[in-house]
Structures are given as C-alpha cells and as structure tokens.
Amino acid sequence: MAEDTRAANGLHWSKTRNLTYIILALWALFGIIIPWFAGALNSMTFLGFPLGYYFCVQGSLIAFVVLIWVQNWRQDAIDEEFGHDE
C-alpha cells in the first residue's frame, strides 16, 4: 500500500511540476518575449498610445489573469484526480 501511495504522490508531483513549467514558459512569453518585439508596432497609435505599448500593457494583463485561472483550474483537476481535493 505504501508503494502505491508513493507512486501516486510521485505522479501527482510530476503533473504539478509539468503544469508549473508550462505556465512559467507562457508567463515568460507574455511578459518578456512579446514585449521585446512590440517596437515594430509603435509606429501606429491607439487612443494616443503607441500600439505596441498598448498591446503589451493590456494584452499582458489579460494573459496573466487567464494564466492564473488556467493554472488554478488544471491544478484543481490534478488534485481531484489523486484525491488531494480537501
């Protein structure tokens, strides 16, 4: 029984770790990589702001909120799958 519990806990941790890596990679994409290339859009404006700046500010906030929601949703599913949904 202890061997099964240890294996289940290992699989739970593996899925949690992989989810965390994916979310961190997406966080870096929306927080660092996309803003790096926003300069090309700055020749146009939207509401008086350079378009690249506007997209990065508004888009990254939306992306971060969605990422938090997705991670929470997926982690709840992983926890429920392994009986850690207390």
**21-70 pLDDT per residue, tens:** 999 999 999 999 888 888 888 888 888 888 888 888 888 999 999 999 99
Please check whether residue 83 is in contact with residue 76, taking contact to mean a CB–CB distance below 8 angstroms. Answer: no
Residues 30 and 10: their CA atoms lie apart, in Å, by 30
pTM beyond 0.85: the answer is: no
The reported pLDDT for the residue numbered 54 is: 81
Which run of H or E residues covers position 49? strand 49-50
What is the number of alpha carbons within 13 Å of residue 28 lying toward its C-beta?
5
Per-residue pLDDT band at 76 (split at 50, 70, 90) = very high
- Amino acid, res. 27: W
